[in-house]
């Protein structure tokens, strides 16, 4: 690795979607400005994409490593998909965006219509459903006349939903719906960081349900399905991005162990694998690694910045994609999938019927693919269980819940040690502190799911914003650094 001065150099650490979006935007900015810029991308593993990846299994079902779709309402990912030439591959999910049922007290309960904003908007349908016990449904209606809580501060999911809609609603509906997306617990999940709209409903309408009903009444019909994906799975975005990165020096199996400051330059210490190891001198660094990793990399040089970063936790997640013969189904599966409240005491936390959402994700229409989700802060013990044990336990639970009487043809386990981040109470204060600390180091930027949104569109946007920040810091734009954390 060289230490000589040549063109300006930027290191992007982490080859997940955020890092790839950042690297791509940097080469694009340099090309537009006709400036020479060397972009170095360091990825610890031997593949790009991080949590995003898709592979066909031996039985013929598409196994997604992480995301299987994205929220089409936010523009950044759609724009990226268009830029890498994948627009023709876009496909909408069949049916509603939400899981279709909740498994409670030993039975599947269909989610009534109008549950999109986490609280019911169709009160008649909610009252007629068997989602909660009758006292539980009646208790939820108290939200309509209870006074809003005093103060403007943040609340945990439990502090918000418990007093307004009741404990049963919290445990059977709100917690499983949110745990399916965010990596936190009801007790300490920050509503201001995850669903600020709910706090807005309280402040403006005095009630969650009234606010959600007002919003649903005002929503213009969308020309697209709420969730979209790519025909070949979300992994095809990564393959296409690899081909559209521009002149980026890619180092795989190159784990970065520290970032340090040397005057105006920064140094990136790279592990022994792949690059031969050593230290790279660069003019700017984008850390597109999970916050806990970024904290480790910055601890020596910027301890005050590392502290709040280290408080943003990611918990392990595990998915098992089962392939079943269609003939094994004794009864209809609950549409898109179902959720299982923690209080049921089961291992399975949620399941998606992949072939109901995306029929093209099985090579034969005689196959049914069900993807099971486990993990998060209340199931950290999954790391101590073997794949075989979890495959058997969860297949047995799925059999009990759905009436599938035969064993699956195949099970594919994917373990993600640093699963989705938990935006815990104080998350926004932590981000403000991180921004304060970063203000003095404009040539350093952070990107990725740990900060302002875990969905793919937010993650892509964060990478692009981080690229713009360091581009400005390199002195090619008089406006100075744009955003601090993408």
Residue ranges binding ligand FAD (CB under 6 A): 13-19, 42-45, 50-52, 66-70, 255-256, 288-290, 293, 317, 319, 416, 419-420, 448-449, 454-456, 459
Our CB check for ligand FAD shows the closer of 132 and 449 to be: 449
Our CB check for ligand FAD shows the closer of 169 and 302 to be: 302
Shortest Cβ 70–ligand FAD spacing (Å)? 4
Our CB check for ligand FAD shows the closer of 143 and 465 to be: 465
Q: Are 202 and 148 in contact (CB under 8 A)?
A: yes
Record the tokens describing residue 103, joined without a space. 């498994």
Our CB check for ligand FAD shows the closer of 52 and 81 to be: 52
Q: How far, in Å, CA of 184 to CA of 190, rounded? A: 9
Say how many residues make up the chain.
Answer: 486
Our CB check for ligand FAD shows the closer of 178 and 293 to be: 293
Our CB check for ligand FAD shows the closer of 41 and 202 to be: 41
The burial of 291, by beta-carbon neighbours within 10 Å (0-12 exposed, 13-18 middle, 19 or more buried), is given as buried
Q: Are 139 and 166 in contact (CB under 8 A)?
A: yes
Q: Helices 196-205 and 157-165 sit at what angle, rounded to 10 degrees?
A: 40
Q: What angle do CA 424, 450, 350 make, to 5 degrees?
A: 70
Q: How far, in Å, CA of 21 to CA of 39, rounded? A: 12
Shortest Cβ 44–ligand FAD spacing (Å)? 4
Shortest Cβ 142–ligand FAD spacing (Å)? 33
Q: How far, in Å, CA of 121 to CA of 218, rounded? A: 12
Residue from 344, 339, 368 nearest 356 by CA: 368
Q: How far, in Å, CA of 476 to CA of 264, rounded? A: 16
Shortest Cβ 384–ligand FAD spacing (Å)? 19
Alpha helices in 206-302 (DSSP H): 208-218, 235-243, 291-298
Shortest Cβ 20–ligand FAD spacing (Å)? 8
Q: How far, in Å, CA of 20 to CA of 343, rounded? A: 39
Q: How far, in Å, CA of 443 to CA of 231, rounded? A: 38
Our CB check for ligand FAD shows the closer of 312 and 368 to be: 312
CB atoms within 10 A of CB 209: 23
Report DSSP letters for 133-152, one per residue. Answer: -HHHHHHHGGGGTSPPPSSS
Shortest Cβ 98–ligand FAD spacing (Å)? 13
Q: Are 233 and 418 in contact (CB under 8 A)?
A: no
Q: What angle do CA 50, 303, 429 make, to 5 degrees?
A: 75
Shortest Cβ 130–ligand FAD spacing (Å)? 28
Our CB check for ligand FAD shows the closer of 115 and 256 to be: 256
Shortest Cβ 317–ligand FAD spacing (Å)? 5
Our CB check for ligand FAD shows the closer of 104 and 182 to be: 182
Our CB check for ligand FAD shows the closer of 126 and 227 to be: 227
Q: How far, in Å, CA of 117 to CA of 111, rounded? A: 13
Shortest Cβ 293–ligand FAD spacing (Å)? 4
Our CB check for ligand FAD shows the closer of 111 and 230 to be: 230
Residues whose CB falls within 8 Å of the CB of residue 42, separated by 6 or more in sequence, listed in order: 11, 12, 13, 14, 15, 251, 254, 255, 256, 268, 270, 275
Q: Are 277 and 270 in contact (CB under 8 A)?
A: yes
Shortest Cβ 295–ligand FAD spacing (Å)? 11
Shortest Cβ 124–ligand FAD spacing (Å)? 31
């Amino acid at each position: 690795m060289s230490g000589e001065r040549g063109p300006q150099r930027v290191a992007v650490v982490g080859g997940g979607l955020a890092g790839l979006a950042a690297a791509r935007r940097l080469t694009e900015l340099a090309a537009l400005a006709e400036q020479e810029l060397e972009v170095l991308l360091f990825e610890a593993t031997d593949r790009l994409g991080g949590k995003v990846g898709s592979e066909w299994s031996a039985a013929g079902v598409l196994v997604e490593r992480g995301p299987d779709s994205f929220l089409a309402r936010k523009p950044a990912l759609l724009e990226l998909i268009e830029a890498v030439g994948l627009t023709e591959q876009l496909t909408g999910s069949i049916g509603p965006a939400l899981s279709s049922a909740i498994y409670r007290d030993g039975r599947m309960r269909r989610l009534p219509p109008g549950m999109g904003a986490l609280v019911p908007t169709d009160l008649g349908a909610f009252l007629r459903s068997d989602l909660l016990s009758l006292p539980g449904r009646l208790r939820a209606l108290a939200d309509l006349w209870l006074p809003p809580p005093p103060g403007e501060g943040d609340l945990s999911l439990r502090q918000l939903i418990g007093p307004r809609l009741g404990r049963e609603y919290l445990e059977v509906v709100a917690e499983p719906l949110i745990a399916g997306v965010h990596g936190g617990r009801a007790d300490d999940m920050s509503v201001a960081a995850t669903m600020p709209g709910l706090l807005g409903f309280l402040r403006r309408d005095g009630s969650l349900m009234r606010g959600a009903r007002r919003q649903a009444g005002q929503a213009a019909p969308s020309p697209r399905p709420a969730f979209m994906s790519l025909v070949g799975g979300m992994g095809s975005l990564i393959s296409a991005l690899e081909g559209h990165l521009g002149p980026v020096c890619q180092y795989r199996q190159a784990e970065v162990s520290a970032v340090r400051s040397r005057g105006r330059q920064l140094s990136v210490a790279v592990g022994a694998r792949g690059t031969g190891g050593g230290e790279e001198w660069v003019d700017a660094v984008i850390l597109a690694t999970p916050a806990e990793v970024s904290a480790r990399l910055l601890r020596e040089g910027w301890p005050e910045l590392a502290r709040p970063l280290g408080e943003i936790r990611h918990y392990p997640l595990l998915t098992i994609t089962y392939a079943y013969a269609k003939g094994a189904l004794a009864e209809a599966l609950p549409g898109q999938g179902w959720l299982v409240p923690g209080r049921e005491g089961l291992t399975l936390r949620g399941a998606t019927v992949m072939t109901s959402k995306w029929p093209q994700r099985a090579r034969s229409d005689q196959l049914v693919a069900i993807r099971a989700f486990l993990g998060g802060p209340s199931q950290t013990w999954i790391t101590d269980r073997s794949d075989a044990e979890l495959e058997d336990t969860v297949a047995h639970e799925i059999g009990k819940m759905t009436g599938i009487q035969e064993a699956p043809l195949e099970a594919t386990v994917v373990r993600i040690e640093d699963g989705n981040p938990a935006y815990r109470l104080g998350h926004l204060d932590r981000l403000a502190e991180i921004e304060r600390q970063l203000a003095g180091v404009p040539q350093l930027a952070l990107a990725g799911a740990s900060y302002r949104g875990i969905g793919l569109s937010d993650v892509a946007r964060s990478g692009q914003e981080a690229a713009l920040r360091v581009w400005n810091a390199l002195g090619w734009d008089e406006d100075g650094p744009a955003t601090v954390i993408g």
